[in-house]
Amino acid sequence: MVEALDRLDLKILDRLQIDASESSSEIAERVGLSQSPCWRRMQRLKEEGYIKGQVAVLDREKFGESMYIFAQLKMGRLNDEGRERFMRAVDEIPEITEAYTLFGDMDVMLKVLAPSMAWYQNFENGRSFYTELGHTDESYTDPMFLKHLLGGIQYAIGDNKKLDYSKCTSLRVPEENRFTKTLLTQGTLFEPTEMAVLPNYDILVSQRRGEIMLYKNGTKTMKQAGFLDVYWKTHTKGVNAEEGVLGLQIDPDFKTNHFVYIFYSPSDTSVNRLSRFTMTGDTIDNKSEKQILQFYSQREICCHTGGSIAFGPDRTLFVS
């Protein structure tokens, strides 16, 4: 029969959570017991399952990792199979140390171990410095932050030697006279973000505010092939948005399957979403949408939104 925990049991458990390497005599002294009764209590707590095991707490900074990030995700599919597949994928990423199921708008919270907020690296015979701090005006009045920033600048400068540009190299660029510039359309697009050339040389063009435009090579005209209701402007004064329809790509086998992939920000929920659509004739069929990936995106705040998509040589679809 499991005994109820008393005040001394709880004090012993507190000490073990602080430092499980302490001996029973050290713990006994801290909780006000003699060594033998304390040892017996510790054994009983183990036998009754209150203590599952003892672990070593590592100094993550020694491994070059010192910052925890808590990321909340919204899953596209909430069935048991999708959740199990997601958790298997999480297990394969060593930087994710914990995962929790949430109730509410978001479905999962991940605890991710990351490098420090400052990043230093030797690069191409030079040095680079990066910091995640400094996003507020108050940062630049903080003596500690200014010292941090100065240290990074001094590191990047190094010995401040004059650069030898004769050692610089770049890719060879074809001569301009090898290309002919042909104007296809002008004044017909609003913030175009990405385009995809179809096998018949028609061109799909995504516009950030939601339209998918189609340039018809045969008639040299532009028409609308589809529309997605997207979040592309904020409701907050003085704040810009960069979300909307951000990426567009056709399937490598488009000629036979007519699949079009679009990365966009739906207006009704705070996520960025990658979906596959089927193009029928000159129209993107919204009812054919198959969601592939989506993740939470903070809104009403600016900026630096990615979203370009592209297929790799092994038909893997990448999202920036």
Residues of the chain with CATH 1.10.10.10: 7-47
Residues of the chain with CATH 3.30.70.920: 60-114
* Measured distance CA(264)–CA(194) in Å, rounded: 12
Sequential pLDDT tens for the chain (320 residues): 556 888 999 999 999 998 888 998 999 999 999 999 999 999 999 988 898 888 887 776 676 656 677 777 776 656 777 777 777 888 887 778 888 888 877 788 888 776 666 666 665 556 777 787 887 888 899 898 899 899 888 888 877 777 777 887 887 888 888 999 899 999 999 999 999 999 999 999 999 999 999 999 999 999 999 999 999 999 888 888 999 999 999 999 999 999 999 999 999 999 999 999 999 999 999 999 999 999 888 888 877 788 999 999 889 999 99
Residues of the chain with CATH 2.120.10.30: 185-319
CATH code for the structural domain at 60-114: 3.30.70.920
pTM: 0.53
316: number of Cβ within 10 Å: 8
CATH architecture of 185-319: 6 Propeller (2.120)
The tokens for 47 are: 């036998």
Contact of 232 with 243, CB cutoff 8 Å: yes
* Measured distance CA(263)–CA(307) in Å, rounded: 6
CATH code for the structural domain at 7-47: 1.10.10.10
Place of tokens 């509410």: 104
